[in-house]
Structure 1
């Protein structure tokens, strides 16, 4: 009996640690998988929705297959090295993601400026059932508030065709401003060809030029709070001399998925020399 108790006491901490790892991995994995699945079922495919789905699935498999997985890895030194390196890389990536989220959190403290601009450019952010998504609606609401303070400003709604949508984002944005905020039709100009932030700003320049609005003038650019730093950098790269950045609050339900997507957008923008 004493021998059994001694063995049980020695083994118990390790067994508890393994069980805790499996339980925590399963809970986190289930939450991430459910989050990703929710958005994928809405046909919203991007890094911000697919990555939680895949990481969540991986953690669930890890939790359920832990004993067999560890036994398989421990039979080969090469597998053990790969396993350790994989976890090291994963934790370095998670750490970089946390740093990026902190950066966005501080960058999100934006106030709506009161400087008048001759033009307001609103960047697209996807549709839901042919209507502006909550994130895009927030941008449009913020733009409308600014436009009502400056009635002489024209509005440029910028966004092309979204996945499996018949109408462009720009058209849906235009209709939203008319129906919800009663913005006069003559104030709104549509740019319906762009599929990225860089193209939003490039194509909008053409509309501004036709209206004899110089990029040396202050141009209001409306986008989501998390999107402000990157869109400002791209705008300056595209020749907007004094962009007035107006931030719209991102709905909490999609905030961290949007931040995750923005993490990869920052890297791709840097690699593509967008700023």
Structure 2
């Protein structure tokens, strides 16, 4: 039976809009996926291949593909028996993940603010600075911020030992501990106060391998220790220290440079999840 001309026009128009339209979800896929993928590729080019880089890269690639082939992917799902349910479930899971990132960041901000209020009332016996990359034998921006924070803390507590902790980066010849110690000495910190740990390759090992250096100075797991790290890393560092057995350890937050803050906080989300799965926390 022939459709009325108006009805046919509306059908064609609606179908054309369906084929040519750019719904908000498709635009969001391309934007979010493009940012995740580009950011991960830049970090991979710099030699970073940890979970916090590879997982966002994979997610970004999937989102870019879905955004670029929106109608084909959607129609392919809809042709399957449970396809419509799977398509909608996938979007709900993605929304839930985005919400979980927001919640994690909110908790992290609350943690940083709380620690900032507490650390002023604590007198540390030792200051442990966690490593964070030393490209070309120089502290990375994040590591420099940690060292500057530790230097100010050491000036306020002249009786505290300062432990700089970190092994040799991929492609480097100097350990993070050596580079960190050099930086603090150049900033005028008394070399006699600096203890260098140069074997560790993770936060857990930072704190484990720093312990013998503290014990050699008469300190231990029950001593007041300030663990200086980047703001995004404080929550995980605090929990790892507690699991190792430090009973009086307090994470001290160093600011993350603005231009790497988005990436660092996103990577920490995945790093936190990875540490939880590996039972490091």
Question: Matches of 1:76 and 1:214 in 2, distance apart?
Answer: 61
Q: Is residue 148 of structure 2 the alignment partner of residue 141 of structure 1?
A: yes
Cα distance change, pair 96–174 in 1 and its aligned pair in 2 (3 A): same
Q: What is the SS of the residue equivalent to 1:265?
A: helix
Question: Matches of 1:123 and 1:54 in 2, distance apart?
Answer: 29
Aligned pair count reads 274
Q: Is residue 111 of structure 2 the alignment partner of residue 107 of structure 1?
A: yes
**Which of 225, 228, 231 is equivalent to 1:225?**
231
The residue correspondences of 1:22-37 to structure 2 (distance < 5 A) are 22-37=26-41
Aligned to 1:187: 193
Question: Matches of 1:48 and 1:257 in 2, distance apart?
Answer: 9
Aligned to 1:202: 208
Q: What is the SS of the residue equivalent to 1:227?
A: helix
1:129-157 C-alpha deviation (Å, 9 max, x unpaired): 33221111111110001111222221100
Q: What is the SS of the residue equivalent to 1:182?
A: coil
The residue correspondences of 1:156-167 to structure 2 (distance < 5 A) are 156-167=163-174
**Which of 43, 49, 53 is equivalent to 1:39?**
43
Question: Matches of 2:129 and 2:198 in 1, distance apart?
Answer: 12
Question: Matches of 1:270 and 1:25 in 2, distance apart?
Answer: 28
TM-score after normalising by structure 1: 0.87
Measure how far apart 1:2 and its partner are.
Answer: 3.7
**Which of 246, 250, 268 is equivalent to 1:240?**
246
Q: What is the SS of the residue equivalent to 1:240?
A: coil
Cα distance change, pair 164–79 in 1 and its aligned pair in 2 (3 A): farther
Unpaired runs of at least 5, structure 2: none
**8 Å Cα contact 2:19-2:71 kept in structure 1:** no
Where do 4+ consecutive residues of structure 1 move more than 4 Å? 8-19, 78-82
The residue correspondences of 1:18-97 to structure 2 (distance < 5 A) are 18-97=22-101
Q: Is residue 114 of structure 2 the alignment partner of residue 124 of structure 1?
A: no
Q: Is residue 211 of structure 2 the alignment partner of residue 216 of structure 1?
A: no
Unpaired runs of at least 5, structure 1: none
Question: Matches of 1:6 and 1:262 in 2, distance apart?
Answer: 50
